[in-house]
Structure 1
Amino acid sequence: MQTAATVKINYFFRRFRAFLGKGWVVHKREIVVSNVDERSPSPIFIIGTHRSGTSLLRRIIDSHPAIACPPESFFMSHYFSLISDDEASIGFDNLSISHDSVRQVLASQSSYFHEAYRKAKGKSRWADKTPQYFEYLNEIDQLFAPDVVFVNIIRNPLDVAYSIWSRKWDVVRKDGDYLDNVCKYVARAGLKQLAFFDQTSSRYVKLRYEDLVENTRVELERVIEVIGEPWCDEIMNFSRIPHDFGTEDPIVRGTKRIQGSTGNWRAWKQSQLNCAVKNLKDLMIATGYAIPE
Structure 2
Amino acid sequence: MHRSAPFLIIGHHRSGTNFLGELIQRNTAVACANEPFSMHTDFFRDNDLRPWSAAAYDQAVLHPELYSSPKIVLFLQELRKWLGSSPEGCRRGFKETLLYEKLPWLGEYLPGLRVIHLVRDPRAVTASVLDVPEADELWKYSVTVTRYLEEQLGHPPGDALDPFELCLHSIGIRWELARRSLAAFEHITVRLEDLVEQPEDALGRLMGFLDLEPTDEQRDFILDSQRESRGGRYSSYRSRDSVLNSWRSRLTEAQQTRLATGLRSFFEEYDYAR
Counterpart among 60, 63, 69 of residue 26 in structure 2: 63
Q: CA deviation at 1:109?
A: 4.1
Counterpart of 2:17 in structure 1 is 54
1:225-254 Cα offsets, whole Å, 9 max, x none, are 1111233222223489xxxxxxxx834536
Deviation at 1:260?
Answer: 5.8
Partners of 1:270 and 1:134 lie apart in 2 by: 30
Deviations 1:183-206 (A, max 9, x none): 111111122223323x22x32121
1:153 aligns with 2:153: no
Contact kept? 2:19, 2:236, Cα under 8 Å: no
Aligned to 1:264: 246
In 2: Cα distance, 1:82 partner to 1:181 partner: 18
Q: Which runs of 5+ in 1 are unaligned?
A: 1-39, 93-104, 241-248
When residues 45 and 258 of structure 1 are mapped into structure 2, their CA distance, relative to the original with a 3 A threshold, is farther
The answer as to 2:170 corresponding to 1:185 is: yes
Report which structure shows greater RCO (CA 8 Å, sep ≥6). 1
Contact residue 60 and residue 235 of structure 1 kept, 8 A = yes
Equivalent-residue separation in structure 1 for 2:56 and 2:176 (angstroms):
28
Structure showing greater Rg? 1
Can you list the C-alpha shifts for 1:54-108, whole angstroms capped at 9, x where unaligned?
1110001111111111322125886xx997487875998xxxxxxxxxxxx9985
Give the alignment's Cα RMSD to 1 decimal. Answer: 3.9
| CA displacement at 1:282 relative to structure 2 | 3.0
SS of 2:21 mapped into structure 1? helix
Q: Secondary structure at the match of 1:204?
A: strand
Indicate which of 184, 187, 195 corresponds to 1:212: 195
Give 1:112 shift.
3.6
| 1:194 matches 2:157 | no
Paired amino acid for 2:266: L
1:111 equivalent in alignment to 2:94:
no
Aligned-pair identity (%)? 20
Q: Is the 8 A contact 1:191 1:283 kept in 2?
A: no
Find the residue that maps to 2:220 and give its secondary structure.
Answer: helix
TM-score relative to the length of structure 1 = 0.63
Letter in 2 for 1:111: R
Is 1:255 paired with 2:221? no
CA contact (8 A) 2:27 2:218 kept: yes
Aligned counterpart, 1:97: none
- Distance, in Å, in 2 between the alignment partners of 1:68 and 1:258 is 26
Looking at structure 1, the residues matched to 240 and 124 of structure 2 have their Cα atoms a distance apart, in angstroms, of 17
Aligned residue in 2 for 1:130: 96
Note if 1:281 corresponds to 2:264: yes
8 Å CA contact 2:57, 2:105 repeated in 1: no
- Aligned residue identity for 2:92: W
- In the TM superposition, what is the alpha-carbon distance from 1:212 to its structure 2 partner? 0.9
Q: Equivalents in 2 of 1:173, 1:83: separation in Å?
A: 21
Q: How many Å apart are 1:181 and its aligned residue?
A: 0.9
The answer to whether the 8 Å contact 2:10/2:97 transfers is: yes
Q: CA 1:260 to 1:82, structure 2 compared with 1: closer, same or farther past 3 Å?
A: closer
Give the paired residue count: 226
Q: 1:90 to 1:43 in 2, by over 3 A?
A: closer
Three-state SS of the structure 2 residue aligned to 1:65 is coil
- Is 2:226 the counterpart of 1:237? no
Pick from 95, 106, 111: which aligns with 1:140?
106
**TM (normalized to structure 2)?**
0.67
Q: Retained in 2: the 8 A contact 1:207–1:219? A: yes
Alignment check: 8 A CA contact 2:56 2:105 kept: no
